[in-house]
Structure 1
Amino acid sequence: MVLTRMPSRRTAIIAAVLLVVVGVPVLTALLGGFSRTGGGEVAVVRNGGFFDNNKIRQLIDPGSGRTWVGLYSTVHKYPAQQRFYTITSDAKKGERTGVDVVTVPSSDGVSMGIEGTLYFTLNLDHQALRAFDDKYGTRKFRGGDGETRYAWEGDEGWSGFLDQIVRPVIDNDLRGQINSFRCAELVSSCALVQNTAQQRPAKGPQNNQPQSNNGNIAKVQDAINTSLAADLETTLGGKFLTNLHFNLVRVTLPDKVQDAVDRAQAAFAQVSEAQAKVASAKAEAAANKARQDGYNKCPTCARIEELKALPQGITVYAPGNPNGALLPKN
């Protein structure tokens, strides 16, 4: 009869510890060696691990299935759909917290607030994505909350990248374009509070009439769309953002200037009202004079008009007598 010796308690404990120390990390690494992307994201995979380098291993296109990316690799996921960057005075809609307006001077020195939205798409070309991740996926950007994140760390990280890298280019382009127009050429009411000596008549395409504000704003928008793509490519060091389109939503005046405009408009309204009253009085006086001239030429006509003006029901009428008009008794 052969007796089998049961493993000691100490041996069982050691085996359990080895399973936890070795088995769990290995199992975790195996399970973490797979990744996939949703329909609106693209992934850049970098090598990792104890004995591996950190170079780009592969790219995963949008909407992929589960893909093997290797043990301990890092996956940088970026937005693959159209994105936008909004500059607005509405604290709830802008990319930055609070009121966010680009303030730039016009050619005649008036600070103007610019609101708009930049629409764009990340270049999904594999070579462009590799270069983009090398340049901007390996450094952190400070967000509006003061925290630093990588551009691929969710919406906060992506917004931090846009704020620090893309936003200065937008501001610079807006400054260059707005500075080529006078305030009144973009906001017509600005002419109400500017010195007359500073104003120069703007010539339009026909009849020497000033172009409309909307036309000038469209010119600014078109110029920005032309220059922004080249400026971003130069600044970023590659054509990383495509399908760029800037929509200029609104041009506003500083609070003090706008208050002055409001007061001027109220004053012009009062002047217009007074002029209307004067015109009405002149018209009434002219009508009375013409009427009197007619009566002078035709006394009978005047008497007829006088009779027509009498109240209904008169029984006796004696001109020249203060009691000449008698009404019938009830």
Structure 2
Amino acid sequence: MPRRRTAIVLAVVLVVVGIPVLDALFGAYSRTGGGEVAVVRNGGFFDNNRIRQIIDPGSGRTYVGLYSKVHKYPAQQRFYTITSNSSKGDETGVDVVTVPSSDGVNMGIEGTLYFTLNLDHAALRTFDDKYGTRKFRGGSGDTAYAWEGDEGWSAFLDQIVRPVIDNDLRSQVNSFRCAELVSSCALVQNTAQVTPVRTGQGAQPQSNNGNIAKVQNAINTSLAQDLQSTLGGNFFTNIHFNLVRVTLPSKVQDAVDRAQAAFAQVSEAQAKVASAKAEAAANKARQDGYNKCPTCARIEELKALPQGITVYAPGNPNGSLYAGK
């Protein structure tokens, strides 16, 4: 009986003490894949919570200490997409940055920000101190740490990086007029701002590719500086913003479509007028020729007779054509 009681006590001790110890021993090792980097923080019962070490991408199994916390971040190039396609944007639903042009037209900006997390160990330590120890609210309403998978990383980008992108887009787009970025905008501008309609044509559309390139280049220059200033460190490298599309509000676009349809109708009417004038000129020239050469007119008249006519009597009041074999 005592031996049985001793066995039960030993089993309880093994369960209560042994399993946690084994779990801690197995959890004291970690490794990273090729596309992730890890920041390790102390987490023992009698330990502090400071950063212990950095594990570079693609490492082997590494000892990180008992009860340490491993924060894994993406080490490869990442991107943040802003688009009207609800299935492709980083935020849920239709996601477009709406900013005003210099002449007050709200314009939708779509594009993609490409960047890479700075893998310098000192930068990673600072980044984890600033943004790895707090949670961020994602599009679903749930909160997560930046190192808790794609959901946590996206929540961090939405709350910290997205406002910087919006501000840069607003600053750069506001220096251009609507027609300088979307040429069709000239069709519905105030009459004081566009060329008056002449011969059915409105304001001549401008080539806006160069202006869009200027906006994109300006954003690429300012965005890196603004991100470093706002985030408090050089945490991102290889920053590049690709401006994909500039759109007009639905009501403005509808007005553009109506204006283009109206100009198309004017062009069609002008084409008909030009065709009629050309036909009248041809008829006049033809008649002038007949007046100078009556014989030529008679020959043309004979050529116009239907086939099968053998007798032609132009002076017959009952009819001038007789069919025969």
Q: State the TM bucket, normalised to the shorter chain.
A: over 0.9
1:296 deviation in Å?
1.2
Instruction: Name 1:113's counterpart in structure 2.
Output: 108
Task: Answer yes or no: is 1:248 the counterpart of 2:243.
Answer: yes
Equivalent in 213, 223, 231 of residue 236 of structure 1: 231
Cα distance between partner residues in 2 of 1:215 and 1:90: 25
Answering whether residue 16 of structure 2 is matched by residue 21 of structure 1, we say yes
Report the residue type matching 2:135 in the other structure. K
1:98 has 2:103 as partner: no
CA distance in 2, matches of 1:309, 1:157: 85
- The 2-side partners of 1:200 and 1:26 are apart by 82
Kindly state the Cα deviation for residue 30 of structure 1 after the two structures are TM-superposed: 0.3
CA distance in 1, matches of 2:22, 2:312: 122
Describe the shift of the 1:26–1:37 C-alpha distance in structure 2 as closer, same or farther (beyond 3 A): same
Q: Give the aligned residue type for 1:328.
A: G
**What is the Cα deviation at residue 9 of structure 1?**
2.2
CA offset digits 1:284-313 (Å, max 9, x no partner): 011111111111121111111111111223
Please give the per-residue CA displacement for 1:59-112, whole angstroms capped at 9, x wherever unaligned.
Answer: 000000000000000000000000000000000000011100000000110000
Secondary structure of the equivalent of 1:113? strand
| Identity fraction in percent | 86
For 1:267 and 1:180, how far apart are their aligned partners in 2?
31
Distance 2:193 2:308 in 1: 70
Corresponding residue number in structure 1 for 2:324: 328
- 3-state DSSP of counterpart to 2:309: coil
- The residue aligned with 2:290 is 295
* Aligned mates of 1:149, 1:106 — CA distance in 2: 36
Mapped partners of 2:142, 2:186: distance in 1: 45
Q: Which residue of 1 aligns with 2:200?
A: none
Q: Flag as ranges the 4+ runs of structure 1 deviating above 3 A.
A: none
Name the residue aligned to 2:77.
Answer: 82
CA–CA distance in structure 2, aligned partners of residues 224 and 127 of structure 1: 27
- Secondary structure of the corresponding residue to residue 315 of structure 1: strand
Shift of 1:195: 1.1
Give 1:63's aligned residue. 58
C-alpha deviation, 1:199, in angstroms: 3.8
Deviation string, structure 1 residues 185-241 (Cα, Å, up to 9, x no partner): 11111111111203489xxxxxxx986211111111011001100000000101000
CA distance in 2, matches of 1:321, 1:185: 73
Question: Matched residues in 1 for 2:248 and 2:321: separation?
Answer: 68
The corresponding residue for 2:172 is 177
Q: Counterpart amino acid of 1:161?
A: F
Partner of 1:204: none
Give the Cα separation in 2 of the matches to 1:199 and 1:311.
Answer: 57
Find 2:215's aligned residue among 195, 212, 220. Answer: 220
Q: Which residue of 1 aligns with 2:39?
A: 44
Indicate if the aligned counterparts of 2:183 and 2:206 stay in contact, CA closer than 8 A: no
2:206 and 2:125 map into 1 onto residues whose CA distance is: 47
Deviations 1:43-72 (A, max 9, x none): 000001110000000000000000000000
Q: What amino acid maps onto 1:20 in structure 2?
A: V
Task: Verify the 8 A CA contact 2:97 2:110 in the aligned structure 1.
Answer: yes
Q: Assess if the C-alpha contact under 8 Å between 2:109 and 2:247 holds in 1.
A: yes
Instruction: Say whether 1:143 aligns with 2:144.
Output: no
Cα offset, 1:12, TM superposition: 1.6
Query: What pairs with 1:188-203 in structure 2 (closer than 5 Å)?
Result: 188-199=183-194
Q: Which amino acid aligns with 1:324?
A: S
Task: Output the TM-score relative to the length of structure 1.
Answer: 0.93
| Structure 1 unaligned blocks of 5 or more | 1-5, 202-208
RMSD of the TM alignment (CA)?
1.5
1:19-53 per-position Cα deviation (integer Å, ceiling 9, x unaligned)? 11111111110000000000000000000111000
1:119-143 Cα distance to aligned partner (Å, 9 max, x none): 0000000000001001100111000
Q: In structure 2, what is the Cα distance between the partners aligned to 1:11 and 1:22?
A: 16
The residue aligned with 1:270 is 265
Amino acid at match of 2:130: K
Q: How many residues are aligned here?
A: 317
Task: Tell me the TM-score normalized by structure 2.
Answer: 0.95
State the alpha-carbon separation in 2 of the partners of residues 171 and 314 from structure 1. Answer: 83
Per mean C-alpha deviation after superposition, the further-off stretch among 242-251 and 296-305 is 296-305
Supply the distance in 1 between the matched residues of 2:263 and 2:316 (Cα, whole angstroms).
Answer: 52
Give the aligned partner of residue 299 of structure 2: 304
